[in-house]
């Protein structure tokens, strides 16, 4: 695989049982590139290591006044220099190719896993960890995979040089043969401590990345509540911990480097001292002494690769472990599907709770536990529960459908949907049935004022569809983001649409119009909305009330308000004292309406109140920081 051939048509199925197994899998899948790098590495290192012999031969030719041998030595030096230049050039090219292709393979695997798991990924792995794996960790994994072939070439070259020295000059060659293994193995006792310190550094860096990611995601709320300095101080503290860990790790690697310099120097001194005595006794020639001395000095170059491979493995091992953890996550369904790729129709049913959403009806679900509601929405999207219960559409388990068919059949919009950067036209360019156009979806989601604001703020075009939306829609308010996300979901026109609190950040006037628009646009299609808003509940065909994970009541909004105190408590926000005071089923009303903004235009709520989920997340960060 060459860089110009990327991306891979199929990155393969990784061995994600552990970090080392994943690294070995990457190496095996790049065997051709590794062998090429090994060949060029042998040419490079062998050419460099042969130069001392050529120099020794030339010096001895001068001592013996032999012009022929001097010319031969000069020719050999030319060949060695050419081999060095060619080998070094192509070794660098092949090494970089191995590095980039390994990193690209890991990135493709992560992208495929992200697409497979969808929103379930961030429920099982922190978003900051996913970012760390897909950025810095990918680079370190590629570094180790690439360095293996260069290390192997260096190790083979050292063995060949030692054998050559023993044959060329046995008296000095034996000293080198005994000393070099000691040099190579001397740093082994230091590696476990260096590895532990590197692991600590990577863990602290990962936590700092998670904190930064979560802080940036909640920046609007932080500004609203004046919490910027609080979280800035926390990030500073986390950053300082990373710095201290990096310094401790660097000290250990500096010690290893010092050992790698000191011991070859001692070996060089021993070779010179012993060689001088042998030369005085007439047992070796001057050229041979120079050749052996130069060989030992040159061998410090390939010996450096022992330190590099140790460092690369120490840094890549925790990175590979994190990558393997993400890649080992599985969607608890058969993604290939055991049924034909046909989209079923009919009622949407969850056997775990007993929830039934009749086909073609607008069903509202009220649940006092937001976390339980989120898990139920996830099951309705085709992700089975821990007990293995899968939702059924038309009697067909969603986990038996191919992944593509399951996602076409049921679309789940999360409580906090993400808007990708780009133009509004690109945002709404999603896989769809074609039955619902962009204008219809935007109108049903009450995006008229959003379009006007986008057109006014666009410098390139008056068409709001060409207006650019920043990453995650940060230039928009919470309610504007919700409405655009709702329009995007409506365009897809799935067989069953599941919306989790789609209007929590808009005012009551806008919410009433959205409820009517969604009901009209989705007429004849299955729609499930998780909400506790009376405005949405009053327009639903059917309301299902869940308590402690089970369906306990079904009916219309007005019926349940009069007959089910627990439902009334959730919808009207009654306190326990108020519920007890109402006695047996005396209604407390349909609950207070949402407050209007000062200008009454149906704009968004105040940001500090419309981002409850982000606030909840920030509170979790504060508890764990």
CATH number where 46 lies: 1.20.1560.10
Are residues 300 and 357 both part of a single domain? Answer: no
3-state helix, strand, coil in the chain (%, to 5): 65, 10, 25
Tell me: do 279 and 410 sit in the same domain: no
Close Cβ partners of 463 (under 8 Å, ≥ 6 residues apart)? 455
pLDDT in tens, 224-276: 666 667 777 888 888 898 899 889 988 988 888 888 778 878 888 888 888 88
Give the single-character DSSP code of 133.
Answer: I
Between CA 412 and CA 379 the distance in angstroms is 10
pLDDT at 514 over 90: yes
State the residue range of the domain holding 551.
Answer: 348-624
Domain count, the chain: 2
Rounded Cα distance, 37 and 497, in Å: 53
Give yes or no: residues 476 and 594 share one domain: yes
Please state whether beta strands 496-500 and 410-413 pair in parallel, antiparallel, or not at all (unpaired): parallel
Q: For residue 421, what pLDDT band results from cuts at 50, 70 and 90?
A: confident
Residue 199 has pLDDT above 70, yes or no: yes
- Within a domain: 539: yes
Which pLDDT tens digit goes with each residue over 456-484? 877 667 788 888 888 777 778 888 899 99
CATH number at residue 620: 3.40.50.300
373 and 226 both lie in a single domain? no
Specify if 585 maps to a domain: yes
Q: Do 353 and 323 share a structural domain?
A: no
Calpha distance 223→220 (Å, rounded): 5
Please report, to the nearest 10 degrees, the dihedral formed by the alpha carbons of residues 426, 379, 331, 339 taken in order.
Answer: -90
pLDDT band, residue 614 (cuts 50/70/90) = very low
pLDDT at residue 599, as a whole number:
36
Question: pLDDT band at residue 601, thresholds of 50, 70 and 90?
Answer: very low
Q: What is the pLDDT of residue 119?
A: 62
In-domain check, residue 111: yes
What's the confidence (pLDDT) of residue 215?
66
Asked whether residue 196 carries a pLDDT value surpassing 60, the answer given is yes
**Coil/strand/helix, residue 543:** strand
Q: Please say whether the beta carbons of 208 and 242 come within 8 A.
A: yes
- Please give the full DSSP string across 214-251, using - where no structure is assigned: HHHHTHHHHHHHT-HHHHHHHHHHHHHHHHHHHHHHHH
Give residue 604's pLDDT band: very low, low, confident or very high (50, 70, 90): very low
Give me the pLDDT at residue 530, please: 94
Q: Is residue 343 part of a domain?
A: no
Question: What's the pTM value of the predicted model, to 2 decimals?
Answer: 0.63
Token code pair at residue 528: 């499930």
Report which secondary-structure segment, H or E, holds 264: helix 228-280
- From the list 500, 467, 485, the residue with the least C-alpha distance to 419 is 485
CA distance 362 to 515: 10
134-143, 164-173, 178-187, 528-537: which range is least confident on average? 178-187
Residue 21: predicted pLDDT:
92
In a domain, 332, yes or no: no
Report the distance separating Cα 316 and Cα 621, nearest Å.
28
Residues 424, 301 share a domain: no
**Top-confidence residue, 546 or 261:** 546
What tokens does 219 get?
A: 């920046």
Give the end of a domain, one of 261, 295, 327. Answer: 327
More confident residue, 529 or 337: 529
Sheet holding 355-357, edge to edge: 355-357, 348-350, 392-393, 396-397
> Contact at 8 Å (CB) between 530 and 367?
yes
Q: What is the mean pLDDT of the chain?
A: 81
Same domain, 321 and 393: no
In a domain, 363, yes or no: yes
What is the sign of the dihedral through the CA atoms of 302, 140, 87 and 157?
positive
């Amino acid at each position: 695989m060459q860089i110009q051939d990327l991306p891979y048509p199929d990155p393969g199925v990784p061995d994600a049982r552990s970090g080392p197994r994943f690294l070995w899998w990457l190496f095996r899948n790049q065997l051709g590139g590794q062998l090429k790098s090994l060949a060029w590495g042998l040419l490079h290192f062998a050419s460099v290591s042969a130069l001392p012999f050529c120099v020794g031969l030339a010096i001895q030719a001068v001592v013996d006044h032999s012009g022929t041998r001097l010319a031969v030595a000069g020719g050999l030096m030319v060949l060695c220099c050419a081999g060095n230049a060619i080998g070094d050039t192509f070794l660098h090219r092949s090494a970089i190719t191995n590095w980039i292709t390994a990193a690209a393979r890991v990135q493709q695997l992560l992208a495929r896993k992200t697409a497979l798991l969808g929103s379930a990924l961030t429920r099982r792995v922190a978003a900051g960890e996913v970012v760390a794996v897909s950025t810095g960790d990918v680079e370190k994994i590629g570094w180790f995979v690439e360095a293996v072939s260069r290390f192997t070439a260096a190790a083979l070259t050292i063995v060949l040089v030692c054998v050559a020295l023993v044959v060329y000059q046995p008296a000095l060659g034996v000293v080198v043969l005994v000393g070099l293994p000691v040099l190579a193995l001397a740093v082994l006792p230091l590696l476990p401590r260096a590895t532990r310190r590197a692991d600590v550094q990577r863990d602290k860096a990962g936590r700092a990345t998670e904190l930064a990611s979560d802080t940036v995601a909640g920046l609007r709320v932080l500004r609203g509540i004046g919490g910027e300095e609080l979280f800035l101080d926390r990030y500073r503290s986390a950053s300082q911990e990373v710095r201290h860990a990096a310094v401790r790790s660097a000290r250990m690697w500096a010690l290893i480097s010092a050992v790698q310099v000191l011991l070859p120097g001692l070996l060089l001194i021993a070779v010179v001292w012993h060689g001088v005595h042998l030369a005085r006794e007439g047992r070796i020639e001057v050229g041979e002494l120079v050749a052996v001395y130069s060989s030992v000095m040159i061998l410090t170059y390939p010996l450096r690769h022992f330190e590099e491979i140790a460092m690369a493995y120490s840094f890549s091992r925790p990175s590979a472990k994190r990558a393997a953890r993400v890649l080992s996550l599985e969607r608890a369904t058969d993604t290939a599907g055991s049924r034909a790729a046909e989209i079923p129709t009919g009622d949407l049913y969850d056997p775990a709770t007993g929830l039934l959403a009749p086909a073609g009806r607008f069903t509202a679900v009220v649940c006092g536990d937001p976390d339980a509601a989120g898990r139920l929405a996830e099951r309705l999207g085709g992700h089975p529960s821990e007990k293995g219960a899968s939702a059924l559409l038309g009697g067909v388990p969603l986990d038996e459908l191919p992944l593509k068919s399951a996602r076409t059949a049921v679309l789940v919009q999360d409580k906090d949907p993400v808007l990708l950067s780009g133009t509004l036209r690109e945002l709404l360019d999603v896989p769809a049935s074609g039955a619902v156009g962009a204008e219809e979806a935007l109108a049903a989601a009450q995006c008229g004022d959003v379009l006007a604001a986008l057109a006014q703020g666009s410098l390139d075009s008056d068409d709001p569809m060409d207006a650019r939306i920043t990453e995650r829609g940060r230039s928009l308010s919470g309610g504007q983001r919700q409405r655009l996300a709702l329009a995007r979901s409506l365009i897809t026109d799935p067989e069953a649409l599941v919306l989790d609190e789609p209007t929590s950040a808009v005012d009551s006037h806008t919410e009433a119009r959205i409820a009517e628009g969604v009901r009209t646009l989705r007429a004849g299609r299955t729609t499930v909305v998780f909400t506790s808003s009376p405005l949405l509940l009053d327009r639903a065909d059917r309301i299902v009330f869940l308590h402690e994970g089970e369906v306990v009541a079904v009916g219309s909004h007005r019926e349940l308000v009069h007959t089910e105190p627990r439902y009334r408590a959730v919808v009207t926000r009654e306190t326990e004292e108020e519920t007890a005071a109402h006695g047996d089923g005396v209604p407390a009303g349909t609950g207070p309406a949402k407050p209007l903004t000062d200008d009454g235009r149906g704009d968004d709520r105040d940001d500090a109140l419309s981002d409850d989920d982000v606030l909840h997340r920030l509170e979790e960060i504060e508890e764990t920081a």
